[in-house]
């Protein structure tokens, strides 16, 4: 006779979902959900505290790894990193936002395919360097940009980083998702595969993603050229009317 499975510990997951939806303090939400899970699993208070302490000790260096680069980037931004990147890209007359992002997409996919996923990212590259350079290249051609255009360029820069990372890392043979697929197909479905073969078949997908995103970026250049040229013409007409 099969024994009944205690599903009450799953209440901790519900506590996390509710806490995040209500935007409570994340640390408080995680601790409370851990307490709920432990009590539902009939653990003693001492055992619960021991598990929480062990989890804290195993990840105590994580905040340093995350916060130290952010502090360095913030310090560089305060001393003119964005301005210098915009001034540098303005010297390249043929540069456009689309061309710049296509080059970054290629580099991002290649480095991610080699396992160097930390070379890019939103806080390290997109916000302090890539987005300002895309704005600077567009501003160099069309003058002052409206806020909506700046936001569109920032969004496209972030999306380009996402596409390059997501499809590039699928080619890296030691990527966790590839190992997971290998184990699942071999153990659950009985299909004999090799991680290298799975990674190789990620190449066509990465190439298609690159081409699709590159077309979108070229289209972005054309749309911005039409919109900003029309805005500049309207501004000149308004000045001439005065």
pLDDT of amino acid 223: 94
**For residue 220, what pLDDT band results from cuts at 50, 70 and 90?**
very high
73-96 pLDDT tens trace: 666 667 676 777 777 777 777 889
Tell me what percent of the residues of the chain surpass a pLDDT of 90: 29
Q: Which residues contact 130 (CB under 8 A, 6 or more apart)?
A: 100, 101, 104, 157, 160, 161
The Cα 75–Cα 55 span in angstroms is 31
Q: Domain spans of the chain?
A: 8-60, 80-241
- Between 19-28, 41-50, 137-146, 232-241, the lowest mean confidence (pLDDT) is in 232-241
What residue ranges in the chain does DSSP mark as E strands?
A: none
The Cα 177–Cα 198 span in angstroms is 10
86, 153 contact by CB (below 8 A): no
**For residue 105, what pLDDT band results from cuts at 50, 70 and 90?**
very high
pLDDT of amino acid 3: 55
Tell me what percent of the residues of the chain surpass a pLDDT of 70: 85
Q: Is 0.75 surpassed by the pTM of this model?
A: no
The Cα 229–Cα 150 span in angstroms is 16
pLDDT of amino acid 214: 97
* CA 234 to the chain's CA centroid: 37
40-73 pLDDT tens trace: 888 888 888 887 777 666 655 555 555 566 666 6
138-197 pLDDT tens trace: 988 888 889 999 999 999 999 999 999 999 988 887 777 777 777 777 776 677 778 788
**For residue 1, what pLDDT band results from cuts at 50, 70 and 90?**
very low
pLDDT mean across residues, the chain: 82
């Amino acid at each position: 006779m099969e024994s009944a499975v205690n599903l009450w510990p799953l209440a901790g997951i519900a506590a996390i979902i509710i806490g995040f939806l209500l935007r409570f303090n994340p640390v408080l939400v995680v601790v409370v959900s851990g307490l709920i899970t432990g009590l539902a699993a009939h653990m003693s208070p001492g055992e619960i505290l021991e598990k929480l302490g062990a989890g804290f000790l195993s990840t105590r260096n994580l905040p340093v790894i995350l916060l130290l680069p952010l502090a360095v980037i913030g310090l560089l931004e305060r001393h003119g990193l964005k301005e210098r990147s915009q001034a540098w890209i303005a010297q390249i007359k043929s540069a456009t936002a689309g061309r710049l992002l296509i080059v970054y997409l290629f580099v991002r996919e290649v480095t991610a395919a080699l396992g160097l996923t930390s070379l890019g990212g939103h806080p390290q590259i997109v916000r302090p360097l890539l987005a300002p350079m895309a704005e600077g290249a567009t501003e160099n051609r069309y003058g002052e940009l409206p806020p909506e255009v700046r936001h569109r360029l920032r969004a496209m820069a972030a999306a380009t980083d996402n596409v390059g990372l997501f499809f590039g890392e699928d080619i890296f043979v030691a990527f966790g998702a590839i190992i997971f697929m290998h184990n699942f197909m071999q153990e659950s479905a009985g299909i004999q595969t090799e991680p290298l073969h799975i990674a190789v078949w990620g190449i066509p997908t990465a190439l298609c993603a690159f081409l699709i995103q590159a077309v979108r970026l070229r289209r972005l250049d054309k749309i911005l050229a039409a919109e900003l040229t029309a805005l500049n013409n309207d501004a000149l007409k308004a000045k001439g009317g005065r």
